[in-house]
């Protein structure tokens, strides 16, 4: 059973009116994400991991020095598939319902959450990810280097932003803070985030 790359939940150009270009998706989804899937399949072929779920492969291979390559590719496959769903055309703004209530309970206000999230995404040195996660009964903002993700740390991912340079360089060059702000203002799919919270 080979791992596959899920289809994007929208067309390559669907986020262009919201400052994320189709050309970025040609490279980010069409090249980077696809390469992680191909690499993972090659690495686990004929091993005991070949028939495991993607989540199981991530948890088994994390911090196993002999499986660093497997972890990096498996986690990046999962991270990217999750990231695409965290965005939608005309997204952004503020969440509602139970998600909004839990964000307020955990951070004090939605504005304090966005301040923490922007700080995590801006200060992740080099390549990595910013996350909103559920840990126990509370929500937290975290950041992870390279391919690491909440699954590896026993947390439930609710929202992520990819801050690897290839996620934004074609559209924003070195202006990572502008990319982060645009993500929050115009792209976040709060309905997807609420679904992850309800299922947690």
Domains of the chain by residue range: 21-85, 97-199
Write down the pLDDT at residue 1.
Answer: 65
CATH superfamily to which 97-199 belongs: Iron/manganese superoxide dismutase, C-terminal domain (3.55.40.20)
Q: Each residue of 78-87: pLDDT tens digit?
A: 999 999 999 9
pLDDT range class, residue 18, cuts 50, 70, 90? very high
Q: Is 32 annotated as a binding residue?
A: no
Count of CA atoms in the C-beta half-sphere (13 A) of 159: 27
Q: Is 80 annotated as a binding residue?
A: yes
Write down the pLDDT at residue 133.
Answer: 98
Q: Is 33 annotated as a binding residue?
A: no
Q: Is 162 annotated as a binding residue?
A: yes
pTM (predicted TM-score): 0.97
CATH superfamily to which 21-85 belongs: Fe,Mn superoxide dismutase (SOD) domain (1.10.287.990)
193 Rama sector, left if φ>0, alpha if ψ -120 to 50, beta otherwise: alpha
The C-alpha atoms of residue 20 and residue 178 are separated, in whole angstroms, by 12
Residues 6 or more apart in contact with residue 79 via CB below 8 angstroms:
129, 147, 149, 160, 162
Q: Each residue of 132-184: pLDDT tens digit?
A: 999 999 999 999 999 999 999 999 999 999 999 999 999 999 999 999 999 99
Average pLDDT score over residue span 26-39: 98
């Amino acid at each position: 059973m080979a791992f596959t790359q899920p289809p994007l939940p929208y067309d390559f150009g669907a986020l262009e009116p919201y400052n994320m270009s189709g050309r970025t998706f040609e490279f980010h989804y069409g090249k980077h994400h696809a390469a992680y899937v191909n690499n993972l399949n090659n690495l686990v072929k004929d091993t005991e991991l070949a028939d495991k779920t993607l989540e199981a492969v991530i948890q088994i291979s994390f911090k196993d020095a002999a499986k660093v390559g497997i972890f990096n590719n498996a986690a990046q496959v999962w991270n990217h598939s999750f990231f695409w769903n965290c965005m939608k055309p005309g997204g952004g703004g503020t969440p509602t319902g139970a998600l909004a209530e839990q964000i307020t309970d955990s951070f004090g206000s939605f504005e304090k959450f966005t301040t923490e999230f922007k700080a995590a995404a801006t200060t992740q040195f080099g390549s990595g990810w910013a996350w909103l996660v559920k840990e126990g009964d509370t929500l937290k903002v975290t950041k992870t280097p390279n391919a690491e993700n909440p699954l590896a740390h026993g947390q439930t991912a609710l929202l992520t932003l990819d801050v690897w340079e290839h996620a934004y360089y074609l559209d924003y060059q070195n202006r990572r803070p502008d990319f982060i702000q645009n993500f929050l203002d115009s792209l976040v799919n709060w309905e997807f985030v609420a679904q992850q919270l309800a299922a947690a």
